Amino acid sequence: MPTIFFYGPRLPREKKIKLIEDFTKTASKATGIREEAFVVYLQETAADQVGVGGELLEDKQKK
């Protein structure tokens, strides 16, 4: 069972649904594996839990 992980910001339900649909369709098309086989995990990650360029994302967003 192919698995896709997405780590990102909190999203509204409608965007989560669209993201899962798009990931699944794109991965299926690229691999030839049927869509029903894919599992997608969305992991919400707060800006104070992510580092970008040696800084907390939360601090970069304040600039």
Q: What percent of the chain has pLDDT over 90?
A: 94
Residue type at 42?
Answer: L
Give residue-wise pLDDT tens across range 46-55: 999 999 999 9
Give residue-wise pLDDT tens across range 18-30: 999 999 999 999 9
Query: CB neighbours (10 Å) of residue 36?
Result: 8
> Cβ(33)–Cβ(2) under 8 Å?
yes
**How far is Cα 3 from Cα 23, in angstroms, rounded to an integer?**
10
Mean per-residue pLDDT over the chain, rounded: 96
Helix (H) or strand (E) holding 6: strand 3-8
What pTM does this model have? 0.82
What the chain holds in terms of domains, given with CATH numbers, is 3-62 (3.30.429.10)
